[in-house]
Structure 1
Amino acid sequence: MNDGVVLVLTRLEDSSADMVIGHLVASGAQVARFDPGVDFPEKATLSTVFADGSSWGYLAAPTRHINLKRVRAVYYRRPTPYRTGSTCQVERFSGTEARFGLGGVLASLPCPYLSHPLVLAEAEQKPLQLLVAQRVGFTVPATLITNQLDDARTFAAEYGPIIYKPVRGTSFMESNGSLCTIWTTAVDPADLNETVRHAPHLFQACVNKTADLRVTVVGEQIFCVQIHSDLLDWRADYDRISYAVIESPSDLSERCLSFLKAFRLRFGAFDFALTDDGPVFLECNPNGQWGWIEDHTGLPIAAAIADLLLKDSA
């Protein structure tokens, strides 16, 4: 299978995937890049046969023809979502069929994935993350998920000061057409009102941190970076960040690996708040961004991902 193809599923503009592909090509691997949500069905064709106890087929686009039996590994990065939310009934039907037809065929490939979309879907659940984080020994801030105003006020009185962050980070469009993101925000209990009822809200005890840690795990390799920022949520302004590569404490590394094992993951981007008593778990993005970390620190994350894809499929 070493002469097979590494299939990279991502959108056209993905500089992090570009970095990994560069290392794969330099290693002599054959690489095929494909964006299911854009390329299919208008620009690509799919045929797969399931018969006689096995399956075979191909995925073809104007510039490439992929024999699915020759796919040795899949790097599932950031593909464009299928058009399942379209207001056009025909487009919505076509998008749903593509998601479960093409997406189902790709998900059934008997090769290593980094990481499998079904595994990612489970690992992205923040409530489940908090439970697993506690089980593996991480310190986790007191957390409430609720749409009940009285419970939110009680939580704020017991654990304040508190912060709010989305259960899942989702960008939205302002009325002026600008794209916005909700960052972690301090909550004044006096501002809590009946709008809490409109959606589940994730409130947490605010951590008195001295810095942040971003721990990127690739297979068994740990890349630990200390992040300094004057912001509550450093992601709100990358120009106000400074970085320092540090050695990950052994117990933290072991717990990160145990966390990923619980979710059947080989990659994870962990965020911790660093306090005088040690790191506090905030979340793990199972398909998180890492390219900017490599750009600022020189850590060989892309090479590690490429090596893991080739090693797992050797």
Structure 2
Amino acid sequence: MDNRSGSVLVLTNPLDVTADAVLRVLAERRVPVVRLDPGADLHTGASLTAAYRSGNQRGTLRTASRELDLSEVRSVWVRRASPYEGPPELDGQDRRFAASQCLWGAGGILASLPGAHYVNHPWANRAAEHKPAQLAAAQRSGFLIPDTLITNNEHEAREFVASHTGGAVYKPLWNTPYSVNGKPHAVWVREVSGTELTTAIGACPHMFQAKVRKAFDVRVTAIGDCLFGIRIDSPDLDWRRRQDRMRCTPIDIPAPVARSISAYLGEFGLVYGALDFAVTSARDWYFLECNPNGQWAWQPAGTATAIAHTIADQLAKGSAS
């Protein structure tokens, strides 16, 4: 039996190379780690048990090679686990039923480990993923934000776009999987004109923003009190579209922006956040969004290494400090 007292539990899929970078650091420090992809592993031999009594809670995670006392987990890193889809051998409503029970059962157990330090807690992640909530929190935190309209009303959308003579952009409210002719298709942020707006807007809320006349973009990776800023120079409105054409260089973060980042993370109870800004030639930083579980391994090697070590610091310290 491998009862890893004080283990770090990493919830992610087996192909997560970003997680691998942090796990290598933890291995060098001899911090015990257990990796689990609950959406898949619980259908291939792993088991999860929790027992609750007055004044007592205990639980056990068993895999093919390990047995972990869940009360001894020091930290949980919520990364990129597979969705709870149910056992593949089941069909129809049986599989949907099993998937929902896994989500609410296993997901609930793993989100409620006594004394564990979460990076981030899964419920904090979910709350922080909603763009309307992000914008409201950004306002309270002191950020500049672009004028924004979220609506399913065609008339109001047309008025908003027409009123912003400097241009307006459309961005999806969620990165929903989409395909064209059977091939995956990304929906990028793009400039939009009033002539493109039709009654199709009534199908669901759409998000429109005033176009920021930016000089460059900035990605800030925040881990606790540590901030890592990267300036992004790209020919595209949405730099994610053609990352091979962007240039990344470290940048200092102005003190007022750093204070607002701290306040923003506090709003949602986040330890980690990947924040995107559009910066004008006057050096005004406009908050665009924050991914509470955003990728960072694509950044320059020195920055990515520093981020990996800082995340490892958070996981190794647990909740004691």
1:57 counterpart SS class: strand
- Aligned-pair CA distance for 1:294: 4.6
TM-score w.r.t. structure 1 length?
0.95
Instruction: Kindly indicate whether the alpha-carbon contact (under 8 Å) linking 2:5 and 2:73 is maintained by their aligned counterparts in 1.
Output: no
Residues 1:135 and 2:137 are matched in the alignment: no
CA positional deviation for 1:43: 2.3
Does residue 184 of structure 2 align to residue 171 of structure 1? no
Q: What's the secondary structure of 2:144's corresponding residue?
A: coil
User: Residues 227-253 of structure 1: CA distance to partner in whole angstroms, max 9, x if unpaired?
Assistant: 000000000011011011011111111
Counterpart-to-counterpart distance in 1, 2:281 and 2:206: 28
Alignment partner of 1:102 out of 85, 99, 106: 106
1:261 positional shift? 0.7
Q: What is the RMSD of the two structures over their aligned residues, measured on CA atoms? A: 1.7
Q: Deviations over 1:41-86 (max 9, x none)?
A: 33211222111321112111112222111111100001001117x9
Displacement after TM superposition at 1:313 (Å): 3.5
Pairwise CA distance, 1:299? 4.9
Native 8 Å contact 1:294 1:300 kept in 2:
no
- In the other structure, the counterpart of 1:190 is 195
SS at match of 1:138: coil
Q: 1:1-314 residue pairs with structure 2 within 5 A?
A: 3-83=5-85, 88-110=92-114, 111-160=116-165, 161-176=167-182, 178-277=183-282, 278-295=284-301, 297-314=303-320
Per-residue CA deviations over 1:167-189 (Å, capped at 9, x if unaligned) read 1122223333x212101011021
Secondary structure at 1:139's aligned position in 2? coil
Runs of at least 5 residues in structure 1 that lack an aligned partner in the other structure: none
Q: Is the 8 A contact 2:12 2:82 kept in 1?
A: yes
Give the TM-score of the pair, scaled to structure 2: 0.93
Deviations 1:186-213 (A, max 9, x none): 1021111111111110000011111000
Shift of 1:104: 0.8
SS in 2 for 1:210: strand
**SS of 1:212 mapped into structure 2:** strand
Counterpart residue type for residue 10 of structure 1: T
Please state whether the residue corresponding to 1:89 is helix, strand or coil: helix
- SS at 2:181 equivalent: coil
Deviation at 1:296, TM superposition (A): 7.2
* Contact kept in structure 1, 2:276 and 2:290, CA below 8 Å: yes
Provide the secondary structure at the position in 1 that maps to 2:213.
Answer: coil
Q: What SS class does the counterpart of residue 121 from structure 1 fall into?
A: helix
Structure 2, unpaired ranges of 5+: none
- Cα distance in 2 for partners of 1:9, 1:3 equals 17
Which SS does the other structure have where 1:293 is aligned?
A: coil
